[in-house]
Amino acid sequence: MQILINIILTSFLYFIIIISFTNIYTPSHFFSLTHAAVITFGAYFTYMLTAQAHAPLWLAIPGAIILATAVGVSTELCIYKPLRKRGATPLIMLIASLGLYVVLQNLISMLWGDDTKSIRTWEVKVGNEFFGAYITDVQIIIIAVSLTLFVLCLLFLHYSRLGKQIQAVSSNEELANIFGINSDRVILLSFAIGSALGSIAGILVSLDTDMTPTMGFKLLLYGIVAMIIGGVGSYWGLLGGALLLATAQHLSAYYIDSKWMDAVAYIILILFLIWKPLGFSGRRLKKVEI
Amino acid sequence: MKTIKLLSIILITAFLFTSCEQCSNKRDEGVIKIGVILPLTGPVAEPGNNALNGIKVAVEQFNRKNARKIVLIIEDSKSNSKDGVSAINKLIEVDKTKIIIGDIMSSVFLACAPIAEKNKVVLISPGASNPKVRDAGDYIFRDYLSDDFDGQVMANYLFKSLNKKNVCIIAVNNDYGIGVENTFTSNFVALGGEVSLRVKYEQGQIDFKSILIKIRNAKPEVLYIVGNPVENGNIVKQMKEMNISIPITGNLSFENEEFIKVAKGSFDSIIFSAPYFDLKVDNDLVKSFVKDYLFMIKKEPDIAASLGYDVTQILIVTIQNSKFDLSNVKDKLYRIKNFRGVTGNTSINSKGDVLKDVYIKKISGNGDIYIVKLFSIN
C-alpha cells in the first residue's frame, strides 16, 4: 500500500511538470530547458518571500508564481522570440535554452547559496495513516493540486478560445497566422501558463522535500522522459506516461536497489524510442523535431 | 624605431624581474617556507578557509616566540583537482617549498600526492579521509582518520556496548559510502552479528520512501546510515513521516547544520562516531589555541580549524626535531607518537597514516550534541 501511495504521489508530481512543459513545447516546438530554472525559481521565490521578507505563506505562494512566471515570459520575450525571428532551428533554440538555464541556475546559486533551503516552518510529524500506509498533509495537497490543474488544463485546452488557438499554432504555425491568429502572442501566453504551472510544481516539491539550485533540472528530465513515453498530444497519454515512469522507478528501487532508479527510467525511454516513438497515445504530430 | 623601443621595454622588464627574484631569494634565507593548498573558494570553501585560519594561528604563535620565522605560501585549489595540481606544481617549481600542507578534499589530495612523491616534498593533509591516502606514497601524510575506521568503531560499539546483533545499512553510492559500508560489514560479521540488508542510494537523491519500505520489512534492531548530511536529513525525516521507529546510528555527517536544517524535530536521538574534538576540555593547549584564534580570526574555531592548527603544530615539532634541516622532516614525521593536539592524541604509523581518538556522540532532535564515549587509540 505504501508503495502504491508513493507511486501515485510521484506520478502526479511528474504529471504537473509534464503539463507545464508541454504547454510550452507544443506551440513553440522546442525543448525549453530554461523551464527547469523556472521550476527552481518558483521554490526560491517562495523562500525569499517567506523566510527573507517574512510574508505569510498564502501570500508568498501566489507572489512566487507571478515572479517565476515573469522569469519564464521574459526568456521568451528577450531570447526565444528574437531567435525565432531570425529563423533559428529547434536545435539552436535547445542549445540557447541550455546556456540560459546554466546562467539562471548559477544566478540562483549566487543569490541564495548552494546549500539546502527550506520553507517548512511546521514540525515534521507522522503522516496520516491510510490503510496501513502513511501520507503527509503536504503530499495530499500535491495530489489534490495536480488533479485540479489537470482538470482545469483539459477544460482550458478544449473549450476556451485561447486553448484552441494554442492547438492551432501547435499543429501549423503558418496556417494559424493566415487565419488571423497572432502566433507570437499565443506562444507568449503559453509560456506564461507553462511557467506558472512549472513554478507551482517547484513550490510543491520544495514544501515536501526542500530545495537546492539544481532541483529543477532533475525533475524536468524525468518530466521529459515521461512526456516522450506518454506521447505529446493527449493529456491522458501523458498521465499514463507519468504513471508508468513512477511505477517503474519505485518498483526498481524496491526490488533491485534505489541506485537503479535513473537507469530504469532511461531504459524505458530507449525502449519506447525504438518501438513506440510516438508514445502511449501514439498520435502523430505535424512536426516532431528533436 | 618602434621595435627598438619595444625591445628595450621587454629587456628592462625582464631585468627587473630577474633582479627582483635574486633579492627576494636573498631575503628568504633563514625563513622556513611552508606551502598551503586548500579549497578557499568553491563548495568546500568554508572548511578550507577555517583550516587556513587554524594554520595561520599556529604559525603566528611560532613566529612570536622564535627568531627563525615561518612563511606561508597560500594557494587556492578551488575545490577541484585540476586547480589543486596547478597549485602544487607552482609551489614546488616556483616557490621551491619542501613542505606542503595539502588539501582537505581526498580527491584533490590524491591528485597532488604523486607530484609531491616524485619531487620528494612532504605533503600532509588536515582532512583527507579516503582510505587510498594510506598507500599514496612515502612523503604523503595526514592528520585525519581514514573513513574505514568509522565503520570499524561503530561495528564494535553496536555489537559490544549496545549488544545489537542485527543491522541494516543505508550507504551513499560512492567511494566513501561503499568503503565505510564494507569495513562495517566485515567487522560486524566477524564479531558474530548479522547485516540483514544493505541498500545504496545516489548522491542528491531526495525520495527515500522505497528504500525505507524495504528497511521496515527487514525489521533490523538498528539502522546504520553512511551518507551526506542533506540526504541523511531526508532519510530521517521520511522515516518519521512513514512512522518507522528503528534506532538510527551513523557517522560524522550527522554533526552538521545542513542535516539539522532538514531533519530538525523528526527524531529523538541518533548515535554517531566523530573525530575527537572538544574545546571545553580543561587543557592549556586548547585554551591558548581558542584564545589566539578568537583574537586573530574573531570567531570560534571549528574542527577544520583545529585540524589545520594541529597539522601545523606537528610540522613545527618535526622541523624543530630535525634541527631545521627540511630534508629530514619526512623521517621525523614517522616518529610522531602520542602527540597531544587540540584534536586529541595523535600517532603516525609506518604507512604515514594516523591514529587518533574517536568519540561516540549522540545528537538529539533539537540539534544538541552529547559525548557518549571516548575510543582512545591506546
- Which string of DSSP letters, residue by residue, matches A68-111? HHHHHHHHIIIIIHHHHHTT--HHHHHHHHHHHHHHHHHHHHHH
Contact B202 A261 (CB under 8 A): yes
Backbone angles phi, psi at B75, to 5 degrees: -125, 145
Per-residue pLDDT tens over the stretch B61-86: 999 988 889 999 999 998 889 999 99
**pLDDT at position B141 over 50:** yes
Per-residue pLDDT tens over the stretch B238-294: 999 888 989 999 988 888 888 888 888 888 899 998 888 888 888 888 999 999 999
Q: How far is A130 from chain B (nearest CA, A)?
A: 11
Beta bridge partner(s), residue B250: B225, B272
CB-based contact A225:A269 (threshold 8 Å): yes
- The verdict on B198 touching A (C-beta cutoff 8 Å) is no
- ipTM of the complex, rounded to two decimals: 0.81
**pLDDT at position B22 over 70:** no
Q: A38-42, B5-9, B126-130, B315-319: lowest mean pLDDT where?
A: B5-9
The residue of B169, B197, B201, B241 whose CB has the most chain A CBs within 10 angstroms, and thus the best one to mutate to test that interface, is B241
CA distances (Å), A155 to each of A150, A165, B282, in order?
9, 14, 72
pLDDT-derived band at B25 (thresholds 50, 70, 90) equals: very low
- Cell readout for B377 is 587509540
The residue of A257, A260, A262, A264 whose CB has the most chain B CBs within 10 angstroms, and thus the best one to mutate to test that interface, is A257
Separation between Cα atoms, residue B274 and residue B256, nearest integer Å? 11
Residues 6+ apart with CB under 8 A from B306: B54, B277, B279, B289, B341, B342, B343
Q: How far is A253 from chain B (nearest CA, A)?
A: 6
pLDDT-derived band at B27 (thresholds 50, 70, 90) equals: very low
Contact B213 A123 (CB under 8 A): no
pLDDT in 10s for each residue of chain A, 290 residues = 788 888 999 999 999 999 899 888 888 888 889 999 999 999 999 999 998 888 888 899 999 999 999 999 999 999 999 998 888 888 999 999 999 999 999 999 899 887 788 888 777 878 888 887 888 888 899 999 989 998 998 888 888 888 888 888 887 777 888 888 888 888 899 999 999 999 999 999 998 888 888 889 988 999 989 988 888 777 888 888 899 999 998 888 888 877 788 888 889 888 888 887 777 766 555 444 44
Q: Is A72 exposed, middle or buried (0-12, 13-18, 19+ CB in 10 A)?
A: buried
Contact B210 A124 (CB under 8 A): no
Contact B200 A257 (CB under 8 A): yes
Residues 6+ apart with CB under 8 A from B190: none
CA distances (Å), A54 to each of A113, B127, B232, in order?
19, 39, 28
- Cell readout for A170 is 501547435
Q: Please report the pLDDT score of residue A98 as a whole number.
A: 93
Name chain A contacts of B211, Cβ cutoff 8 Å.
253, 258
Name chain A contacts of B173, Cβ cutoff 8 Å.
259
Name chain B contacts of A118, Cβ cutoff 8 Å.
261-262
The residue of A6, A141, A142, A209 whose CB has the most chain B CBs within 10 angstroms, and thus the best one to mutate to test that interface, is A209
Q: How far is B231 from chain A (nearest CA, A)?
A: 10
- Cell readout for A67 is 515572479
Q: Please report the pLDDT score of residue A108 as a whole number.
A: 92
Quick one: CA dihedral A44, A47, A49, A53, positive or negative? negative
Separation between Cα atoms, residue B224 and residue B230, nearest integer Å? 16
The residue of B79, B174, B205, B206 whose CB has the most chain A CBs within 10 angstroms, and thus the best one to mutate to test that interface, is B206
- Cell readout for A105 is 541556475
Task: Return the amino acid letter for A76.
Answer: E
**pLDDT at position B97 over 50:** yes
Task: Return the amino acid letter for B221.
Answer: E
Residue A240 has a CB neighbour count (10 Å cut-off) of 20
* Nearest residue to B374 via CA among B273, B280, B265: B273
Q: How far is B364 from chain A (nearest CA, A)?
A: 15
**pLDDT at position B7 over 80:** no
Contact A257 B266 (CB under 8 A): no
Separation between Cα atoms, residue A62 and residue B350, nearest integer Å? 63
- Reported as type and span, the H/E element at residue B70 is strand B70-76
CA distances (Å), A279 to each of A117, A161, A268, in order?
37, 28, 11
Q: Nearest-5° angle of CA B282, CA B288, CA B292? A: 140
- Which residues of A have a CB under 8 Å from any CB of B? 2-3, 6, 10, 114-116, 118, 123-127, 129, 134, 136, 209-210, 212, 214-215, 218, 250, 253-254, 257-259, 261-262
Q: Please report the pLDDT score of residue B8 as a whole number.
A: 62
Q: Please report the pLDDT score of residue B79 as a whole number.
A: 85
Burial B184-196 (b: 16+ CB within 10 A, else e): bbebbeeeebebe
Name chain A contacts of B245, Cβ cutoff 8 Å.
none
Q: Please report the pLDDT score of residue B295 as a whole number.
A: 92
Q: Please report the pLDDT score of residue A173 as a whole number.
A: 79
Q: Please report the pLDDT score of residue B275 as a whole number.
A: 85
Beta strands at B358-364 and B369-375: parallel, antiparallel or unpaired: antiparallel
- Reported as type and span, the H/E element at residue B206 is none
Name chain B contacts of A124, Cβ cutoff 8 Å.
237, 240-241, 263-266
Collapsed DSSP state (helix, strand, coil) of residue B36: strand
Domains by residue range for chain B, with CATH: 31-142+281-356 (3.40.50.2300), 148-274+359-375 (3.40.50.2300)
